[in-house]
Structure 1
């Protein structure tokens, strides 16, 4: 059965979905996106994703394609039309179609596209066994706090990991970890403290990251938001990543060095369980 996708006001089979070749998302990567996870047919952290969308649009001086109530209704309709029980909803907003020019066009109508991806989120190989990563130079632009569709650099880093025979890459600048290709990076010290990069324009302000840190503090797990080096990560007791698509996923190897005993650690496993349990309680 073909997926139903949403394109600028219409719900259509994916094979029939069309967007202008002059859309600035296609020509200029002039767009932003959000990915919301779905468990048991309900959305996780939707309000937080909408807040980040507002921020991204404001930073790029881009108009919203619809009000938040309408965007929520579209998400729910996408879940219903695709019978989505577990997976993701991808939403992309671009500045719209206009003749190619580097300056922002006047009067362009924003484009809005949504599609679903059915996939396991709770029971995954990464959660069970952990993932292996390499470190690579961070070659992205300077405004990583805006969730734009400019994803070629992370794709290149992800391909470097695939070529190396591992699962993902952690990007670093001057020996200091910024984040993963599509996730926030965290380590756990020998004392059990969770350490993750502090918020700035250097990293994406992860929605799952924020929730996990909140749950960790509520569970009396000490948290430090600060930069950490590649060497510190390799010597950590545990490591893990957070994202809407992976929740909390243990990292068991960095650059060929086993983290801890090379298996998912207790802090990461506990935080993953807490995140899933609390997110399901609050799902909408």
Structure 2
């Protein structure tokens, strides 16, 4: 009797949790639209999908096939460009890195670089977004649920415009040394979708009351943050960024290295270079910063509970931030591409 009564309870519970079956695509689409009908401002005004073969403006339809190998095997790469005042910043450099990452992941783009660029420009124009980010992916493509992509007819290209606010960072943050193992160079130097170490590293920092973390390599040299590069100003006024041989070569970090010599010319910096830097030397620096697309330079004032310099936002850090921000806002056309909005 006990087993019978248990079975009756199970059947009753199953009835309570009965799953709805959508009988038509129109019924499902109506359900999907419920999420977005109450949203005043759409966070994703436009998406491109090579699976669809065009641009989608309906957020309910901004989806990726479940059998896409980027979804269930992590076989994909991505990159991001900034939209600021109706311009795309450093799109060409980001696309170059994007295709290098794809080559390392053994993914062949369905389009040449010129077509990828044209798609992204048209997507941004269709979104009518003047400030935000443009994120795009190359995937091994949909096809099956196996490990090898041999069953995928073609690779896939996706892109989305994210309407988001960002501004020049001026407040200092605290960081910790990550205990999450950093990626090996093959994966760290490619911008791929396997970001679990990055996520765990960020969560670890937040759990300890810090903004983010710093990875240190097996030789004891400073590497990078979970999705940003890191830089230091020594007490001798040298700007040092870690070598890019084991970490991602950030487009904003590389642009900073091109712009920073202006501060050498006016005598504020002594030199600008990439080099190995030990944790001891790094923690003893006069100033420290994160470097990334939407920051573009974020002052770091404390690391593992120890103040960096005098524990305040450094003047040279802000001068470097101003250089990059001014370049983003009003730099040369070689680095800023005007979007042809309708």
Matched, 1:203 2:247: yes
Question: Residue 196 of structure 2 is aligned with which of 142, 152, 156?
Answer: 152
Which runs of 5 or more structure 1 residues have no equivalent in the other structure? Answer: none
Whether the 8 Å CA contact 1:138–1:173 is kept in 2: the answer is: no
Whether the 8 Å CA contact 2:233–2:240 is kept in 1: the answer is: yes
Whether the 8 Å CA contact 2:182–2:215 is kept in 1: the answer is: no
Residues 202-230 of structure 1: per-residue CA shift (max 9 Å, x gap): 10011111100111124324123112222
Question: Displacement of 1:138 after TM fit?
Answer: 4.9
Question: Displacement of 1:107 after TM fit?
Answer: 5.5
Question: Displacement of 1:106 after TM fit?
Answer: 5.6
SS in 1 for 2:276: coil
SS in 2 for 1:105: helix
Query: C-alpha separation between the residues in 2 aligned to 1:84 and 1:263?
Result: 35
Runs of 4+ more than 6 Å apart: none
Question: Residue 131 of structure 1 is aligned with which of 157, 164, 173?
Answer: 173
Whether the 8 Å CA contact 1:184–1:243 is kept in 2: the answer is: yes
Higher mean Cα deviation, 161-170 or 77-86?
Answer: 77-86
Matched, 1:89 2:139: no
Residues 49-86 of structure 1: per-residue CA shift (max 9 Å, x gap): 11111211221221113222222222223322332222
TM-score, structure 2 as length reference: 0.77
More strand by share: 1
Matched, 1:7 2:49: yes
TM-score, structure 1 as length reference: 0.92
Partner of 1:216: 260
Partner of 1:161: 205
RMSD of equivalent CA atoms:
1.7
Question: Displacement of 1:136 after TM fit?
Answer: 0.8
Matched, 1:172 2:222: no
Query: C-alpha separation between the residues in 1 aligned to 2:276 and 2:153?
Result: 40
Partner of 1:277: 326
Residues 162-192 of structure 1: per-residue CA shift (max 9 Å, x gap): 1111111111124322100000111110011
Partner of 1:253: 302
Matched, 1:236 2:236: no
Partner of 2:77: 32
Partner of 2:156: 111
Query: C-alpha separation between the residues in 1 aligned to 2:89 and 2:82?
Result: 6
SS in 2 for 1:128: coil
Whether the 8 Å CA contact 2:46–2:123 is kept in 1: the answer is: yes
Query: C-alpha separation between the residues in 1 aligned to 2:99 and 2:63?
Result: 25
SS in 2 for 1:172: coil
SS in 1 for 2:260: helix
Question: Residue 117 of structure 2 is aligned with which of 72, 87, 97?
Answer: 72
SS in 2 for 1:91: strand
Whether the 8 Å CA contact 2:167–2:294 is kept in 1: the answer is: no
Question: Displacement of 1:197 after TM fit?
Answer: 0.9
Between Structure 1 and Structure 2, whose CA radius of gyration is higher? 2
Matched positions, count? 280
Question: Displacement of 1:250 after TM fit?
Answer: 1.1
Query: C-alpha separation between the residues in 1 aligned to 2:122 and 2:313?
Result: 37
